[in-house]
Amino acid sequence: MKRIHYKRHALRLMFPLALLGAASAAPASAQERPQGQVVQDGIAVKPLPKGGVAGLWRDLAAPEEVVNQQSAQQYLALMSQARDKGVLAPGNDRQLARLRAIADRLIPHTARWNPEAQRWQWQVNLLRSEQVNAFCMPGGRIAFFTGILDKLKLTDDEIAAVMGHEIAHALREHGRERMSKATATGLASQLGGAALSAWLGVDVRGATHTAGQMLVLKFSRDEEREADLVGLDIAARAGYDPRAGLALWNKMAALDGRGAPPAIVSDHPGGPERLQQIGAHMNVLLPLYARAKNLPLERLPPYRTNLASR
């Protein structure tokens, strides 16, 4: 009798969970289905939501002026705190000058991925920290940590790959996209969880919240893949070798070792998947780099990297 009761309970559980999954995924599907993809020189991206249901939802959930204002305030606060703690690199710092010189070459190639970038007030700063990290906030507010430069012994091409990747997140408005999707999935999981709990007589709101969070992680991994390719496109047009992207993620994989989380619970794709995608796009990225260097494709020298620190 116990087994029969369990099977009936499981059947009762499966149908509402399927409905909840569909409800949670609906906001993303609504944004993706009508708009398809845009392909620029072999790189496919989701169009920036402008107008329509997708654009209206995003404007309500994450208004552009609010996102930009929050970004400016957060960046200013972070730089002020870093200055107070003595970890903000001064303007004459050699590594900072290197970063700003690379940014100066990348920025002219950003507007093709988002015309608004022409009006951004770009900033580049360096924080003295062991963290292997870098970011670009909406509006072109960039920061690198010395840990990523020193531990990975990045070449200029690899810095361009990192910076291009972070800039791409801002250009493709992934921050706003994530905010709107998180709001949508959170709302769906709350409503679905409450309805499901009432129907089953068991509180399953925690499980439905987890399901919603997993959807957001999936969205985040898709954004990482897009940022990899858009970032390398920008770097290649600026005259930086896109093969540096392969060297970079090999270094990252070596640094992460066995401590990296499984791809399914990470907001970043797994290393092998990342390398495969970048490698598969070299046929469109390398010609851009060759053109920037004014060289025939077959005359490009092999890419050389530095060994990362252990």
Residue labelled with tokens 């969070």: 213
Q: What angle do CA 73, 78, 83 make, to 5 degrees?
A: 125
Distance (Å) of CA 52 to CA 19, 38, 59, 66, 250: 25, 17, 11, 20, 41
Q: How many Å apart are CA 95 and CA 21, to the nearest integer?
A: 47
CB 303 within 8 A of CB 243: yes
Q: How many Å apart are CA 198 and CA 8, to the nearest integer?
A: 17
Question: Which residues are tagged catalytic?
Answer: 166
CB 235 within 8 A of CB 106: yes
Q: How many Å apart are CA 166 and CA 175, to the nearest integer?
A: 11
Contacts of 161 (CB under 8 A, 6+ apart): 231, 232, 235, 240, 242, 244, 245, 248
CB 121 within 8 A of CB 67: no
Using H for helix, E for strand and C for coil, what is the string for 123-176? EEEEECCCCCCEEEECCCEEEEEHHHHHHCCCCHHHHHHHHHHHHHHHHCCHHH
Q: How many Å apart are CA 19 and CA 138, to the nearest integer?
A: 35
